[in-house]
A and B are shown apart, each in its own frame.
Chain A
Amino acid sequence: MRLSKSWIIASKDFKVFLKKKNIIYSAFVVPLLASLFLPVVIYYVELENGGSGIAASELTYLLPALTFFYLILAGLIPTTIASYSIIGEKVEKSFERLLATPTTDSEILLGKGISSFLPPLGAILVGAAIYMVLMDVVTHGTLGYYFFPNWNAAVVFFLAVPLATIMSVEWNVIVSARVSDVRVAQQVGMLLVLPFAGVYVGGELGVVPLGNTGVLLIISGILLATDLLLLYVARATFRREEILTKWK
Chain B
Amino acid sequence: MIETVSLTKKFGDLTAVDGVTLRVKEGEVFGFLGPNGAGKTTMVRMLCCLISKTSGDARVAGYDVGNEADSLKIRKLIGFVPDNVGLYDGLSAYDNLDFYGKLYDCTEAQRKENIQRFLTMLGLWERRDAAVGTYSKGMKQKLGIACALIHDPQILFMDEPTANLDPESAKTVRDFILELKKEGRTIFLNTHNLDEAQRICDKIAILNTKLMAVGTPEELERSVSGRKTVVQVVEVNDAILAALRKLSSVNLAIDGNKLTFDVKDPEKENVAITDVIYRAGGHVQSVTVVGSTLEDAYLKLVRRDNK
Contacts beyond the supplied A15-B90, A15-B91, A244-B50: 14 A-B pairs with Cβ under 8 Å: A8-B102, A19-B91, A92-B88, A93-B85, A94-B86, A96-B86, A97-B144, A97-B147, A100-B82, A101-B103, A102-B72, A102-B103, A241-B51, A241-B52
Type the 1/0 row for A77-90, where 1 means its CB is closer than 8 Å to any CB of B.
Answer: 00000000000000
A99 engages B88 (CB within 8 Å): no
> Using Cβ atoms and an 8 Å threshold, which residues of chain A touch B76?
102
**Is B84 located at the chain interface by the 8 A CB criterion?**
yes
Residues of B participating in the A interface, judged by any CB pair closer than 8 Å: 11, 45, 48, 50-52, 72-73, 75-76, 78, 80, 82, 84-91, 95, 99-100, 102-105, 131, 144, 147-148
Q: A96-B50, A101-B104 are in contact. Are A244 and B86 (CB under 8 A)?
A: no
A3 is an interface residue with CB less than 8 A from chain B: no
With both chains docked as a complex, state the minimum distance between the C-beta of A17 and any C-beta of chain B, in angstroms.
Answer: 9
Indicate if A104 sits at the interface (CB-CB under 8 A): yes
Interface centre among A5, A97, A103, A241 (most CB of B within 10 A): A97
Known A-B contacts A102-B103, A240-B51; A96 and B84 likewise in contact (beta carbons under 8 Å): yes
Instruction: Write out the residue numbers on chain A whose beta carbons fall within 8 Å of the beta carbon of B85.
Output: 93
Give Cα A39 to B95, complex, Å.
42
Knowing A5-B103, A8-B99, A245-B11, say if A100 contacts B50 (CB, 8 Å): yes
Tell me the minimal C-beta distance from A10 to chain B in angstroms: 11
A239 to chain B, nearest CB (A): 10
12 A-B residue pairs with Cβ-Cβ distance under 8 Å, sorted by A, are A8-B99, A8-B102, A8-B103, A12-B95, A16-B88, A19-B91, A97-B86, A100-B50, A102-B73, A102-B105, A104-B72, A241-B51
Measured CB to CB, the nearest residue on chain A to B144 is A97
In the complex formed, the residue of A with least CB distance to B90 is A19
Across the interface, name the chain B residue whose C-beta is closest to A16.
B90
Closest approach, in angstroms, between the C-beta of A24 and any C-beta of chain B? Answer: 13
Interface residue ranges of A168-198 to B (CB < 8 Å): none
Shortest CB–CB separation between residue A37 and chain B, in angstroms? 31
Interface residues of A (CB under 8 A from B): 5, 8-9, 12, 15-16, 19-20, 92-104, 240-241, 244-245
C-alpha spacing A16/B88, complex, angstroms: 8
* CB–CB A97/B90 < 8 A: no
Q: Is the CB of B51 within 8 A of A245?
A: yes
B90 A20 Cβ-Cβ under 8 A: yes
Set of chain A residues within 8 Å of B86, measured between Cβ atoms: 92-98
Docked-complex contact B82 and A241, CB < 8 angstroms: no
B103 contact set on A, CB distance < 8 A: 5, 8-9, 98, 101-103
Once bound together, how far apart are the Cα atoms of A19 and B131, in whole Å?
Answer: 10
Closest to B159 in A: A96
Q: Nearest residue in A to B82 (C-beta to C-beta)? A: A96
Q: Are A12 and B91 in contact (CB under 8 A)?
A: yes
* B84 CB contact (under 8 Å) in A93, A102, A241: A93
Chain A residues near B90 (CB-CB < 8 A): 15-16, 19-20
Given A8-B99, A93-B86, A99:B50 Cβ within 8 A: yes
* CA distance in complex: A8, B104 (Å): 11
* Interface pair B100/A101, CB less than 8 Å apart: yes
| C-alpha spacing A37/B76, complex, angstroms | 51
Residues from chain B with a CB closer than 8 A to the CB of A102 are: 72-73, 75-76, 103-105
Please tell me which one of the listed residues B48, B87, B102, B105 contacts residue A92 in the complex, with CB atoms under 8 A apart.
B87
Q: How far apart are the CA atoms of A234 and B69 in the complex, in Å?
A: 23
Tell which of A19, A93, A104, A241 touches B50, judged by Cβ atoms closer than 8 Å: A241
Query: Which residue among A19, A101, A241 has the maximum number of chain B CB atoms within 10 Å of its CB?
Result: A101
Cross-chain contact B45 with A244 (CB below 8 angstroms): yes
Given A104-B72, A245-B11, decide whether A94 and B88 contact each other with a Cβ distance below 8 A.
Answer: yes
Cα of A96 to Cα of B88 in the assembled complex, Å: 12
Residues of A within 8 A of B95 (CB): 12, 15
Are A240 and B50 in touch, CB under 8 angstroms? yes
Q: Bound state CA distance, A93 and B132, in angstroms?
A: 14
List of B residues within 8 angstroms of A19 by Cβ: 90-91, 131
Please name all residues of chain A whose beta carbon is closer than 8 Å to the beta carbon of B91 when the two chains form the complex.
12, 15-16, 19
Query: Lowest 9 A-B CB distances belong to which pairs?
Result: A93-B84, A102-B76, A100-B80, A97-B86, A19-B90, A94-B86, A101-B103, A96-B82, A102-B75
Q: What B residues does A101 contact at CB under 8 A?
A: 75, 100, 103-104
What's the Cα separation between A245 and B84 when bound, in Å?
Answer: 15
Judging by beta carbons under 8 Å apart, are A97 and B104 in contact?
no
